[in-house]
A and B are shown apart, each in its own frame.
Chain A
Amino acid sequence: MNEPQRVVVTGIGVLSSIGNGVEEFTSALREGRCGAGPITSFDTTGFLRTSGHEVAGFEPEQWIHRLPIEQLGRATQFTVAAARMAVQDAGLDERELAGLRAQITVGTTDGEAGELDRMMAESVAKGPEHPADQLVAGRLPSHQLALAVARELRLPRAVPAVLGTACAAGNYAIGDGFDAVRGGEADIAIVGGADAICRRTFAGFSRLGLVSSDYCRPFDADREGLLTAEGAGVLVLETLESARRRGARIYAELLGYGLNCDAHHPTAPDQASVARCMELALADAGVKAAEVDLVSAHGTGTPTNDITETRAIREVFGDTPPRTVALKAMLGHSMGAASALGAAASAIALAHGFVPPTVNHRTTDPQCQIDCVPNHSVPADLRVVVNNGLAFGGNNASVVLGRHEEEPSR
């Protein structure tokens, strides 16, 4: 038995359709930017709806100095770049990092599925006898998202893990890092999520009729669905004591998290189970429902998700729930990166005192009885934020972040 350590967020790295890097991301959240546009990563000929959210202006060589970039798939490049941004943002140089036991946990939905898509295109064109390109096949295993970070940052004592828990994977990874640091297993955690937009997933959502014709409009009466996206969100976690010792800037405290599984349906979320996940997270964080000022919802903009999730929120928080925003209106659905970007945005919102908006909003669906902070961010003195990730397969994860206040020195 040991007293658990308090865990804080001291670094943020972001790649997203509304901006790269923590400063740009912060401005975009405040301005309510929307990153939707025509998909260019793959040929969208023949698809009825062709919008998505892509990362723009990404120069891997700016962030990846050691590894041969051509050997890394796009999702791996995103992860490595965002991880380097995050450790730089945390003010950690490589000398300091080298001596630390690090937990590197990355969540992803598709890993390098885009690479497999390209292999299949070639296989269809050239026939089944055509051998698999071994260089490309070598990029496929998803655990390389974490290995590449450890290699690029030269961290031999890093424990790498990649969690494939679909669209809640970012939160799962943050939770894992929280436990590793809180329990003293690691000195530092470099955690988050990453996904690159890929044809396969886009085709799947298109076939299910879940892709919107123009924008993602969560909680809106006229919402048509989601827009697939890409990006990466990486957080640096360390103990409060370590952050104080270094004199690090602290964005927020990570108070706790909850995980559960619906064990109900492969694709439809279960309201009671989603509510239970948030309750587990609040209990873990030692926070009462009444103390929560903001929920960063999973909020995909599909009818099923938005109604189930808002009802679950009302089940937990009562008839006057905290403001509930869906960042996917701005960011699209970046799969495994989604809840990691949500956690990054939550930490930023706590540090800067504002609520990012749910953009593209016209009329709130009467079945979604929440204040979604439509279209414009608002200044707010936030104390506690709950960030949700809900995945196909019923894998739920909620993370609770709290405002960090420097205690007056005695």
Chain B
Amino acid sequence: MSSSTIHRDRPLITAWSAVSPFGLGRDAFAAGVGRGQPAHEVPDFDVRKVLGKAGTRTYDRATGLAVTTVRELLAEAEAARSPIATGGGTALVLGTTLGSADSCAGFSRASFEGDKPYDVPAQLMPNVLMNGPAAATAIRFDLKGPNTTVAGGAAGGLLALGYARRLLAAGRAERAVVGAVEEQSPTREWLAGDTDRTIGEGGVVLLVETARTLPPGRRVLAELLALDVRLDIDDDPAQALADTVREALDQAGATPEEVWAAAVTGQPAGEQLAALVGTEAVGRVPALLGDTGSAATVFSLTTVLSLAEHDPTAAGRVAVIASLDHQGLAACAVLRLTGGDR
């Protein structure tokens, strides 16, 4: 699998899917973006109804979302007669903030409330581990390649993309399913405290491949030109965001004029981003889902891909996907949109 060379070819995004507040699957998400109405909770998402009873007894919501999202991705690729290989060549990289805060809190609570402090639901132990959703997804779909959970808060999705890029460059996988999952739950609401942010949820994944391993007939939706990450250590988060966006554009060899769409998630920083790449690009990407944590950057990207699909002016232009979290971590990906019609 691995090699003694470093591959420099750019990661390509060739498919995506989502389980979102707009419903199950890619088309539902794209339709929701088209409608432009805000939504925050995945509708009627009863894990065992959606996935069946076999093997799902111990799934929590985060795990259910992850498994269903990857199921949609694989099924859609199958339906498009461009199936995605599973097994050892396929990595799964998922971003998260806390894993399932609800499972963790419930497990801990059981220890305090039970007759004995070890009266905890042991069969649910994998759910308190951050890698629970990724591991359950691997079991369900035989994904035997690297299986990694990246905790990164608002930057989680982009950090997962950067991690996957390193895996592909080192030849540790031929393709990577990369994305993030965040669940809506009473615990997440409780931890958020008295905030005016609306908590959102969902699972969203990209299929990331390289020219070396692209199967014939696969459409390329976007090319990852650059990814930059930096930390505000001077108490000037706006500056950190500006630095990371400029650096990523610079690495990509792209100018602000080329930017067709741009979004920043985490802290509100739309105005700062607009100052860098123009109000038109920022105005193009509606923020409809509330705070989806580590999934937010990936949802930004799938929103852009949904819009680009129906807009010939996007072809060949650039998308800027940025995040700035409450801890001062700024990240930015720059992608070239290929704008192929379906």
Contacts and interface: CB of A to CB of B under 8 A. Distances in A.
A binds B: yes
Interface of A: 1-4, 44-48, 108-109, 111, 113, 116-117, 119-121, 123-124, 131-132, 134, 137, 140-144, 147, 150-151, 154-166, 172, 176, 179-180, 182-185, 199-201, 203-204, 206-208, 256, 258-267, 273, 276, 280, 283-284, 286, 391-395
A141 B147 contact: no
B145 A393 contact: no
A273 B131 contact: no
A266 B111 contact: no
A284 B2 contact: yes
B229 interface: yes
Interface in B66-117: 88, 92, 96-99, 101, 104-105, 107-113, 116-117
Contacts of B313: none
Given A116-B104, A159-B229, 7 more contacts: A140-B101, A164-B149, A176-B163, A200-B107, A206-B117, A263-B142, A280-B2
Given A2-B8, A151-B233, A185-B166, A207 B139 contact: no
A140 B2 contact: no
Given A163-B149, A179-B166, A200 B111 contact: yes
A357 B335 CA distance: 51
A266 B134 CA distance: 11
Contact of B329 (A2, A143, A206, A273): A143
A278 to B, nearest CB: 13
A141 B159 CA distance: 15
Secondary structure call for the A interface:
mixed
Contacts of A109: 129-130
Nearest to A280: B1
A358 B30 CA distance: 57
B138 interface: yes
Number of chain B interface residues as a range: 35 or more
Contacts of B117: 44-47, 199, 203, 206
Contacts of A392: 125-126, 129, 131, 135
Contacts of A121: 112
Contacts of B327: 141, 143-144, 147
A141 B5 CA distance: 36
Secondary structure call for the B interface:
mixed
B257 interface: no
B153 interface: yes
Nearest to A45: B117
B151 interface: yes
A396 B329 CA distance: 29
A283 B8 CA distance: 21
A124 B105 CA distance: 11
Contact of B147 (A208, A276, A394): A394
Contact of B231 (A123, A158, A203): A158
A120 B139 CA distance: 31
Interface string B326-342: 01110000000000000
Contact of A200 (B128, B130, B231): B128
Nearest to A114: B108
A3 B5 contact: yes
B310 interface: no
A164 B129 contact: yes
Contact of A116 (B105, B113, B151, B156): B105
A45 B119 CA distance: 13
A117 B128 CA distance: 12
Q: Which of A172, A183, A263 has the most CB of B within 10 A?
A: A263
B272 interface: no
B267 interface: no
Nearest to A47: B117
Given A185-B166, A207-B122, A172 B148 contact: yes
20 contacts: A44-B117, A46-B118, A47-B118, A108-B151, A116-B105, A120-B105, A131-B194, A134-B193, A150-B231, A158-B230, A164-B96, A165-B149, A179-B169, A182-B6, A200-B107, A203-B107, A259-B172, A261-B144, A263-B138, A394-B147
Interface in B130-174: 130-132, 134-136, 138-139, 141-153, 155-156, 159, 162-163, 166-167, 169-170, 172
Contacts of B113: 124
A2 B6 contact: yes
